[in-house]
């Protein structure tokens, strides 16, 4: 099987399972995925896309340095499904006017949630929320923002404006 055939199969599998499973997306919209390199590890049931990864369907776009797709093993009468998607490095997710960024992103298919971690930020228009982790529940349309555990700063007893480990929101009245 040629690399183009494998790439096309896994690209379609990955993105159709991720994007088509969201009721908010147009299921008939074309899916594209691009990267500098793709490695399929069939024995481990995963595919690694690396280098300038860019995946898109309709108004949803995911960009990162690396994207690994973990999928279920093939069975006779059972369709393969994406279990988890992991993005590492310069992660950016957009949907319409919403933008989320972080150092890593995990998509858990069964729970239908997206977890942005590592200096996670989300913008909706001019409103911004930041924290160590942002968890977005796709089916519920809700999110949680979690700060990192506060660390003790030796020799600092001043009331600093930016306290480490806290969630921060900047809301712009309309």
104 is a domain residue: yes
- In angstroms, rounded to a whole number, what is the distance separating the alpha carbons of residues 153 and 50? 38
Torsion angle of the four alpha carbons 29, 140, 122, 34, in this order, in degrees rounded to the nearest 10? -30
Which structural domain range is residue 24 located in?
3-150+165-170
- At 16 the pLDDT is 43
pLDDT, tens digit, 9 for 90 and up, residues 112-157 = 888 999 999 999 888 999 999 999 887 777 889 998 766 555 555 5
Domain count of the fold of the chain: 1
Q: Is 12 helix (H, G, I), strand (E, B) or coil?
A: helix
- At 162 the pLDDT is 56
The better pLDDT of the pair 31, 1 is held by 31
| Sequence-separated (6 or more) residues with CB below 8 Å from residue 169 | 127, 128, 129, 130, 145
155 is a domain residue: no
97 is a domain residue: yes
CB atoms within 10 A of CB 168: 13
156 is a domain residue: no
Sign of CA dihedral 162, 167, 172, 173: negative
What is the chain's alpha carbon radius of gyration, rounded to the nearest angstrom?
18
For range 31-38, the mean pLDDT: 88
- Burial (0-12, 13-18, 19+ Cβ within 10 Å), 107: buried
- At 129 the pLDDT is 93
CATH number of the structural domain spanning residue 22: 2.60.450.10
Determine contact, residues 30/24, Cβ cutoff 8 Å.
no
């Amino acid at each position: 099987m040629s690399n183009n055939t494998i790439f096309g199969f896994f690209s379609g599998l990955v993105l159709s399972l991720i994007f088509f499973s969201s009721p908010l997306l147009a299921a008939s919209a074309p899916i594209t995925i691009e990267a500098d390199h793709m490695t399929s590890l069939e024995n481990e049931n995963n595919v690694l896309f690396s280098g300038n990864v860019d995946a898109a369907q309709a108004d949803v776009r995911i960009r990162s340095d690396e994207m690994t797709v973990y999928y279920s093993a093939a069975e006779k009468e059972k369709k393969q499904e994406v279990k988890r998607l992991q993005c590492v490095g310069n992660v950016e997710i957009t949907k319409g006017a919403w933008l989320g960024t972080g150092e890593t992103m995990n998509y858990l298919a069964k729970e239908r949630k997206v977890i942005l971690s590592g200096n996670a930020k989300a913008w909706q228009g001019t409103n911004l929320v930041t924290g160590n982790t942002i968890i977005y529940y796709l089916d519920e349309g809700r999110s949680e923002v979690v700060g990192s555990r506060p660390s003790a700063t030796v020799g600092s007893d001043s009331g600093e404006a930016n306290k480490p480990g806290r969630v921060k929101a900047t809301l712009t009245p309309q």
